Structure 1
């Protein structure tokens, strides 16, 4: 009786990616596999597979990290199935939690891949990825601006210069900037110290404004419909709308509110055992930046939307932090509904 191959043999490649080298572990559905090190070049891995595992159905996986998605896109171009996984999703048994090497990491990825226990994170297309890079650059500038402001005020305090009461706040008006420039010192070295910090401040401030304007203009042009749908939701301004579009992508990809809230981190954890049941608060696994944006947007929504304000007042007397998270969750629900139904939000309408 003639035997025939009815299915392609499968190859599972776990990769521990670093800048200078890759640790590779190859295993098949029949044997445990082999580990080796190679240069960080997808073409060389492809040549190795073609030489030693021709006609295999190849699946690769590596951890999401600083090396981005270029390797993933190369693997998919070869016709392979490729996964980029969250490191927290890779299960470690017993002593594996206390032993970490690149070789072990590659073996664990290959093992989990072979057992079918890995799911890929969502890979953005190149346009979204590059938009996200500019949005994250803006957040770096926000941190830099906050840092240089603190440095300038610290320097004034160090020199014993008291900031006038009308300027002692977070808003740096042009009058306050001129006041700092006009300060007199005994020696030119101190004056140059303040002048240098003010030049740094003005550069970062201008850069932040320019990047913010470019982000808003790009989204108005290329994601016009979703941008203005998001802007219709109370509390969501131009930058928050840009953040949602760049970091979350198309909200229509989320099946329901539970899926989206879990991704953002506004779904509470739950502990239940026997008669004991308690909430664990917000999940630490979250998108921290977008979660913070929705919490800030919730405070604005309370001031502008009477329905959300009524929901907030209904919970008055409880922990304020817990209340605002509830409001942020409701705001997230309405944001998802606005995008999925493609209907602008109407202030005061009960959904």
Structure 2
């Protein structure tokens, strides 16, 4: 009896990626899987597939994480279907929730890939990915900036030194810095400790300014149209506009505000059982960095835009945190609107 191949055989590869090694699990329609460990090099996996699974249609998947997208781009260049998935989207059954090894993780990924239950996150192009690294570097510098300022204030408090009233605010003027440089301690060791912290403060302050300037300049040059559309919205300054372009990418890929709000994390959570239904607040799943930026921008928006201010006042009496989340979602809706339409926002125009 002659047999004929009626469909191209398929290979599903789940990968648990780490810095020094990859755990691989291979599965086809006919067998459940074979697991092995290999060095973290895409070309070695390609050689293995060409040797053992010639003429197979290959699909790969791995969890998004610290190793980025270089493996995904390599797999795509081989003509394979490749997915980079959110770890939270990988379904775990029963005891799988309480047992975790690299082998089990790879098996789960290949199983879910084979069953067609995995969706890839949006993989940015290389230009936007590298721009994103600059934005995140700035965010790290902001954390370091706040930390070193706290250390300096902590040292003053520890030694019982009161900050003059005219300097006791978040803005550290040149006069305040000069005052800090002039503080005299009983022994030179404490003076050197404060001087060391001031050197760190000045270095971080300079780096933060330079990184912020270069990031804004790049966005103005390469994403000029979208950058100025975003800047037309009250509350969205240069840094927030850069954050939207870096972290969210092209907003035109979102179908509607519900889609975008779910991605950023400004969608309401709901729990319903029978006739009982209650709100659980905003969803836990979020792009936490951009959600915080939109919430901060909302406070500025209600100060500068009469429409947003009126919207805020209609909810006075409720929980302030709840109100500002509503304002942030409205601001997010404006953001999507100006990008989709290509029309700058006009202050005072009722939506």
Which residue of the partner structure matches residue 62 of structure 1?
A: 62
Which residue of the partner structure matches residue 320 of structure 2?
A: 320
Q: Distance in 2 between matches of 1:98 and 1:187?
A: 56
Which residue of the partner structure matches residue 163 of structure 1?
A: 163
Q: Distance in 2 between matches of 1:330 and 1:185?
A: 52
Which residue of the partner structure matches residue 310 of structure 1?
A: 310
- Structure 1 residues 35-87: Cα deviation after superposition (integer angstroms, max 9, x where no partner): 00111110000000000000000000000111110000000000000000011
Which residue of the partner structure matches residue 207 of structure 2?
A: 207
Q: How does 1:140-289 map to 2 (within 5 A)?
A: 140-289=140-289
- Secondary structure of the residue aligned to 2:338 is helix
Q: Distance in 1 between matches of 2:122 and 2:276?
A: 36
Q: Distance in 1 between matches of 2:187 and 2:292?
A: 44
Q: Distance in 2 between matches of 1:155 and 1:342?
A: 51
- How many equivalent residue pairs? 351
Q: Distance in 2 between matches of 1:326 and 1:191?
A: 48
- Secondary structure of the residue aligned to 2:329 is helix
Q: Distance in 2 between matches of 1:10 and 1:126?
A: 29
Tell me if 1:49 matches 2:24.
no
- Secondary structure of the residue aligned to 1:221 is helix
Q: Distance in 1 between matches of 2:3 and 2:108?
A: 34
Q: Distance in 2 between matches of 1:176 and 1:120?
A: 51
TM-score using structure 1 length: 0.99
- Structure 1 residues 260-291: Cα deviation after superposition (integer angstroms, max 9, x where no partner): 00000000011112211111101111011110
Q: Distance in 1 between matches of 2:271 and 2:32?
A: 38
Deviation at 1:2, TM superposition (A): 5.3
Q: Distance in 1 between matches of 2:132 and 2:114?
A: 32
Which residue of the partner structure matches residue 111 of structure 2?
A: 111
Which residue of the partner structure matches residue 99 of structure 2?
A: 99
Deviation at 1:255, TM superposition (A): 0.6
- Secondary structure of the residue aligned to 1:119 is coil
Which residue of the partner structure matches residue 37 of structure 2?
A: 37
- Secondary structure of the residue aligned to 1:11 is strand
Deviation at 1:6, TM superposition (A): 2.8
Give 5+ residue unaligned stretches, structure 1.
none
Deviation at 1:139, TM superposition (A): 0.5
Which residue of the partner structure matches residue 295 of structure 1?
A: 295
Q: Distance in 1 between matches of 2:44 and 2:130?
A: 27
Give 5+ residue unaligned stretches, structure 2.
none
